[in-house]
Structure 1
Amino acid sequence: MISPDHSITAENMRFAPYWWDAACPSASENGPLPPVADVVVVGSGYTGLRAALLLARAGRQVVVVDREDPGSGAARRNAGFLGRVLKKSFLGLRNSRGLEHATHVYRELDQAYQTLMVFIAEEEIDCFAARDGRFIGATSPAHYELLARELEAVNKHLGLPYAMVGRHEVRKELATDIYHGGATIPDLGSLHPGFYHQGLLERNAAAGVMIRGQTDVTGIVRQNGPYRFLVTTTAGNLAARDVIVATNGYTTARLGWWSRRVIPFQGYMAATEELAPELVRKIIPHRRVVIDTDTNIDFFRPAPDSNRILLGGATAGGMQSADEIALKLHAIMALALPDLRQVKLSHVWTGFCAGTFDLMPHAGGRDGLWHAMGYNFAGVTMGSYLGHKIAQQILGDPEGRTVFSQDPFPTMPFYRGKPWFMPAAMKYFDWKDGKTARTPLDRLKAH
């Protein structure tokens, strides 16, 4: 156990997400589950709630169940980034699958982002959704050139905007000298994930969706009759015509087929104590989300509802205690943002994301059994989008077609949902990025 270091943490530091200060998860209504439902949704995150909302408004009887209180998982723990994000680059997809496929994928990524912003506006969800842009810091000259080629290709084939930022101009975007230039993408955005999820819960409740937390699914069994599935849970059993599995990084071994296809890993975040407004403006002048070009990214953003800086990094680092996480993240912050060396952390937290073996999100299903998961750091946008798409597929709407349903959902021989290899894999990525970049920040990541 690491002793608390109050030189870097506030005395009342919370080992809980900053978002919970204003939007803390709460227990759902109690009561028995109905014996039958048109659709049972497993998981009450963005995917499950977006699917449930469309289905309920189309007249389906929908029950959403979650192992924890709704919102306790990644939906109210993530960084709140909005954009067209994929671990596979446009150029990488073009080289492996062809230009048409790469263009199709990235066009859908943009559609996912744009439709999310429209949805939030139409539903009048007050969640600080804004298009303040993104700055991507290059951790080496080689990374800068790769970034420039990638964004140039995306602009050429899809017309999406960007601007390269030379090393001498970085301080116009972030108060640091650690990056070798970078790029701005002016139309990307961010939100308050707690308020967004709370808005989804409220609209689902108004649409008649039954939402039950503290209800663990122990089995999904196919059966005869119009209600094709028996869903067994710790709160009772119910039959359903369709079932959606939307558990992403919280998929348990009881959900065998899906648990063998997603790779859960821990992400880490922190929030600074309240800062002077002029210091926040100095650190991130345009209030953009900031990420770097490494595989295992570090990221920074201003809090949307206070004068704090939020940050994250060291993904899958194996840390468990609040003090251990605080030490690592404060070191990253102090090295990248020297003006914050003496600033303390008020919150640190962790949560589970999910990757896939092909680094692609997946959505699909057949004969009434559906899934959407594996977002690879893009859960807000892609979870919302693919939840909606799965609901459209259940309703027989041709608009439910998506490129993310086309490819098989791969697994690996002998994998059973416990990613013992993740710490070693992330260490390899850190070593690879550090070898290319050789910056102090990358050396810190590698240790």
Structure 2
Amino acid sequence: MNLLFANDRRGAYPASLYADQNEPLPPFPPLRGETRADVAVVGAGYTGLSAALTLARAGRRVVVIEAQRVGFGASGRNGGQLGSGQRLEVDELERIAGKPAARRLWDMAEEAKALTRHYAHEAGVAVHPGIAHAARSAAEVRHAHANAERLARDYGYDQVQPLDRAGLRALVNAPLYAGGDIDRGAGHLDPLALALGLARLASSAGAVIHEGSHVHAIVHGRTARDPSIVQTGTGRVVCDHVILAANGYLGRLDQGVARRVMPINNYVIATEPLGERASDLLAENIAVHDTRFVVNYWRLSDDRRLVFGGGETVSYRFPDDIAAKVRRPLEQVYPQLRGVAITHAWGGTLAITRSRMPLFARPAPNCLSASGFSGHGVAMANLAGMLMARAVQGQSEGFDAMAALPAGSFPGGAALRWPLLVAGMGWYSLRDRLGV
């Protein structure tokens, strides 16, 4: 199944709130015939556009090839949360990689957050401060508070404020949670607005973008001196370097990456404008995510709708009624919204790894890949693009540091990873429902 076309119409954004509230860019032309480039970038989400922008500003000839439209994938559909740190918390990173490496990874994540804020500022996209972390049990609250103390003591990051049940309830009027914390150094934004802004910036810098151009095959050069060929149905790019930035939509373009990166679907809804009712849900304009394995996450849009993500399916096909799928966790978190009108409901495909840390890899001598951001990609995907662009220019320290992280394959490899994940997701979903 080709996830690029399995759930969405060709050349059209999903029926999301973001697509309704952002003016689309004029279409970029499909690739036709043969063209030459220093770098071909496959995928026009945050990763690909960040790479293209960095390279174009450095004077490289860059061609970006997108099967659908810029920001079509997870970059234009996600919950818009600009989180701190890596997908794994620092105590887990210290256990896996040691304290010096964990500190380096934290600093890189802070660089990712700063880079994304810079891009948003350049693109005229507002970033609203604050993300609350809602814990379901006393043990999870203790862990959150210990993590906040560790960040302040060992990492010099004092932006995380621990919250007991009453403190969290004062910010997030949801009865499910036992406490948590609020990260004032994190934030949230309109994700599609950022993707469209990056496309404008990259195009203005000289990057050539082709939409509606599905890459069918890549022929890599045998050595670093040999050119590579990126082939679509109507043309091809002959280039010195290839950057793979398709994340959950990479498909069969590289089996080595596919063994270690798993596409999964997630679902989001937007309610009707809530007006004054919105203040009963969130006392401040912050974003929230909780501690479920299948995470619930939410924030308010600028017109006071609740944008809420949650729910899972065991199929690559989106459910017929996404709104009904997400309404259940929404009403569990906010019983006061029972029966609220849902005006938008959409799905999207992201990618995870076994470690939940992104996979940076070199599939061929002149090919770089970054994917598997595991729901933590708003900042890290932008950094990944910049790091790959720097590596192309001979500055590979940041890329190599990420590529050195352990990255096991999924059991069964690319062929059997999905059935085995279904079994695992069923188990963790049961744990979520039981509150374990």
Alpha-carbon contact 2:128-2:285 (below 8 Å) kept: no
Provide the secondary structure at the position in 2 that maps to 1:420: helix
- Give the stretch that moved more between structures: 380-389 or 278-287: 278-287
The offset of 1:317, in angstroms, is 4.9
In the aligned structure 2, how far is the partner of 1:319 from the partner of 1:274? 31
- Give CA deviations for 1:362-385 in whole Å, capped at 9, x if unaligned: 224262111111101011111101
Matched residue, 2:252? 253
Is 1:35 paired with 2:35? yes
In the TM superposition, what is the alpha-carbon distance from 1:224 to its structure 2 partner?
6.6
Percent same amino acid at aligned positions? Answer: 28
User: Structure 1 residue 399: deviation in Å?
Assistant: 6.2
What one-letter code is carried by the residue in structure 2 that aligns with 1:248?
A: N
Instruction: Quote the Cα distance in structure 1 between the aligned partners of 2:22 and 2:257.
Output: 30
CA contact (8 A) 2:32 2:236 kept: no
Note if contact 2:70-2:196 (Cα within 8 Å) is conserved in structure 1: no
Deviation of the 1:25 alpha carbon: 5.1
Shift of 1:220: 1.5
In structure 2, list runs of 5 or more residues that go unmatched.
Answer: 1-12
Gaps (5+ residues) in structure 1?
1-13, 439-447
* SS of 2:422 mapped into structure 1: helix
Alpha carbons of 1:98 and 1:17: their partners in 2 closer, same or farther (altered >3 Å)? same
Indicate the residue corresponding to 1:423 in structure 2.
422
Q: Secondary structure at the match of 1:152?
A: helix
Q: In the TM superposition, what is the alpha-carbon distance from 1:151 to its structure 2 partner?
A: 2.3
Task: Give the Cα–Cα distance (whole angstroms) in 2 for the partners of residues 333 and 31 of structure 1.
Answer: 42
Deviation at 1:316, TM superposition (A): 4.3
Alignment partner, residue 5 of structure 1: none
What RMSD over aligned residues (CA atoms) do the two structures have, in Å? 2.3
* Alpha carbons of structure 1 residues 373 and 24: separation in structure 2 relative to 1, 3 Å: farther
1:183 corresponds in structure 2 to 181
Query: Cα offset for 1:424?
Result: 2.3
Judge which range, 406-415 or 240-249, deviates more: 406-415
Please name the residue that 2:346 is paired with. 349
Q: Mean alpha-carbon deviation: is it higher for 254-263 or for 317-326?
A: 317-326
Partner residue in 1 for 2:10 = none
How big is the shift at 1:168? Answer: 2.3
Whether the 8 Å contact between 1:135 and 1:290 is mirrored in structure 2 is yes
TM superposition shift of 1:51: 0.3
Question: What number of residue pairs does the alignment pair up?
Answer: 419
With over 3 angstroms needed to count, the CA separation of the structure-2 counterparts of 1:46 and 1:32, relative to structure 1, is same
The 1:321/1:364 distance shift into structure 2, 3 A limit, reads closer
- How do 1:273-312 residues align onto structure 2 when only pairs under 5 Å count? 273-276=272-275, 278-303=276-301, 305-312=302-309
Counterpart of 1:301, as a letter, is R
TM-score (norm 2): 0.90
Q: Is contact 1:265–1:352 with CA below 8 Å preserved after alignment?
A: yes
- State which drifts further: 316-325 or 168-177: 316-325
Amino acid at match of 2:106: Y
1:402 to 1:110, Cα distance in 2 relative to 1, 3 A = farther
**Contact 2:135 2:141 (C-alpha < 8 Å) held by counterparts:** yes
- 8 Å Cα contact 1:127/1:196 also seen in 2: yes
User: Normalised by the size of structure 1, how large is the TM-score?
Assistant: 0.87
Contact 2:128–2:286 at 8 Å: present in 1 too? no
Closer/same/farther in 2, CA of residues 224 and 53 from structure 1, 3 Å limit: same
Aligned partners of 2:193 and 2:304: how far apart in 1?
Answer: 18
Once the two structures are TM-superposed, the CA of residue 407 in structure 1 deviates from its matched residue by 3.0
